């Protein structure tokens, strides 16, 4: 990574504004369902505390759309962070303004302040210059450790870097190095597993990796498009006409480059697109015309596994089925367990895929599980991340 990190700057006695990604999933009464994103930034926060910095944390949570939403306040996150740090964390009722400024002036070296949800202000997502200036006024230095928001050109990821020395935190550094190594310097054979709903959503990724991989494995809703493009019946599964053309282009390019493109050999189908729908597993040659494809079958998992056993590097982005319905998580979970058993570099590209791996307790068995779905996808597409581009280069 060619960006400066928190180790390249003096932090003792400095007010350090740290953009973190505390956008954690919440359950009833604000209970945190998965605290892995909080765990992920602990190394940076602990480093700053030990270095005598005055730590000011800022994050978004959910999509309040520029309004105050009581259920999306960050106080429960602050409490959990305090427990994990074993260190007091003070929460404040806003992220800018007189109250916040007063709390910042009271901060002593090694103390931690958590600002309120950035997205309670519409100016955050519009990257408003005055809002960014107000955030920057609070600190001497800016550290971006929110990989999950690095693909957003928001006030707290890009705007503040206009006014403060801006460097990367340890999580951001780790994400960029892990994804960069897997994409740009992989050990071969190299496979990428692509899931998700639409080909058009992943076309940038597909185009970027076809010059790099040896195997391309397709699952999720995307496989419906590829199967139909090959002439198979896909029932009532939605397939956009423009996606059919894109799928055909991908298959032709893969064939021309000698890339082994694998599709499921069996799928799980249901008569309704519903969580409680009755379902069965069929071969791809026997898909009923009145059904939806909801998941890949276990024969497909074994088929994919036979290929993956020979691979040295594997990137996985996108679930294998309708993951929001528990009955159709089987393919995704089976593939996660398979990857966890392999002696290979395994990189999980965030989002629902990371949630599945974490929920199964398999995250530590993977080489890297990304904390950012959208950011990881954009990086794998070969596109710049605004939140990274805004940081200081090493040579500066």
Catalytic residues: 37, 198, 351, 374
Q: Which two tokens stand for residue 261?
A: 């493109």
| Spatial separation of the C-alpha atoms in residues 191 and 176, rounded to whole Å | 19
DSSP labels, 153-188: --TTTTGGGGTS-EEE-HHHHHHHHHHHHHHHS--S
Cβ atoms of 244 and 228 closer than 8 Å: yes
Residue 301 neighbours by CB distance under 10 Å: 24
| Spatial separation of the C-alpha atoms in residues 39 and 31, rounded to whole Å | 16
User: Which stretches of 138-285 are DSSP H helices?
Assistant: 170-184, 199-209, 222-229, 241-256
Sheet containing 260-262, strands listed edge to edge, beginning at the edge strand earlier in sequence: 260-262, 215-218, 190-194, 313-317, 345-348, 368-369
DSSP labels, 314-372: EEEES-SS-TTSGGG-HHHHHHHHHHHTSSSEEEE-SHHHHHHHHHTT-GGGSSEE-S-
Q: How far is CA 316 from CA 33, 103, 192, 396, in A?
A: 23, 43, 6, 35
DSSP state of 132: H
Residue 261 neighbours by CB distance under 10 Å: 17
- φ and ψ of 194, to 5 deg: -120, 130
Cβ within 8 Å of residue 313, ≥6 positions away: 182, 186, 187, 188, 189, 190, 191, 344, 345, 347
DSSP state of 384: P
Cβ atoms of 214 and 260 closer than 8 Å: yes
């Amino acid at each position: 990574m060619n960006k400066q990190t928190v180790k390249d700057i003096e932090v003792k006695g400095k007010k350090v504004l740290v953009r973190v990604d505390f956008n954690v999933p919440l359950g009833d009464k604000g209970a945190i369902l998965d605290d892995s994103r909080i765990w992920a930034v602990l190394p940076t926060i602990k480093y700053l505390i030990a270095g005598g910095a005055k730590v000011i944390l800022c994050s978004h949570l959910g999509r309040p759309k520029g309004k105050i939403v009581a259920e999306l306040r960050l106080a429960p996150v602050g409490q959990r962070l305090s427990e994990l740090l074993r260190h007091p964390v003070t929460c404040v009722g806003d992220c800018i303004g007189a109250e916040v400024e007063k709390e910042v002036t009271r901060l002593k070296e090694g103390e931690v302040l958590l600002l309120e949800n950035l997205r309670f202000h519409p100016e955050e997502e519009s990257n408003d210059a005055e809002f960014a200036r107000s955030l920057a006024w609070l600190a001497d230095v800016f550290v971006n450790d929110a990989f999950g928001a690095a693909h957003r050109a928001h006030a707290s990821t890009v705007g503040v870097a206009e006014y403060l020395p801006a460097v990367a935190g340890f999580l951001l550094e780790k994400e960029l190095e892990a994804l960069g190594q897997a994409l740009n310097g992989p050990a071969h054979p190299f496979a990428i597993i692509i899931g998700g709903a639409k080909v058009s959503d992943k076309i940038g990724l597909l185009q970027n990796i076809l010059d790099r991989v040896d195997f391309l494995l397709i699952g999720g809703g995307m496989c419906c498009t590829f199967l139909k493009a090959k002439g198979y019946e896909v029932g009532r599964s939605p397939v956009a006409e423009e996606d059919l053309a894109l799928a055909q282009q991908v298959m032709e390019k893969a064939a021309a480059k000698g890339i082994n493109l694998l599709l499921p050999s069996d799928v799980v189908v249901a008569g309704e697109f519903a969580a409680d729908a009755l379902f069965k597993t069929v071969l791809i040659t026997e898909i009923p015309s009145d059904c939806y494809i909801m998941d890949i079958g276990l024969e497909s998992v074994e088929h994919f596994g036979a290929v993956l056993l020979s691979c040295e590097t594997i990137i996985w982005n996108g679930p294998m089925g309708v993951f929001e319905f528990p009955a159709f998580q089987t393919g995704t979970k089976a593939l996660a367990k398979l990857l966890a058993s392999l002696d290979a570099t395994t990189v999980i590209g965030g989002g629902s895929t990371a949630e599945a791996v974490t929920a199964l307790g398999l995250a530590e068995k993977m080489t890297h599980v990304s904390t950012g779905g959208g950011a990881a996808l954009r990086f794998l597409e070969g596109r710049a991340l605004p939140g990274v581009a805004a940081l200081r280069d090493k040579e500066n």
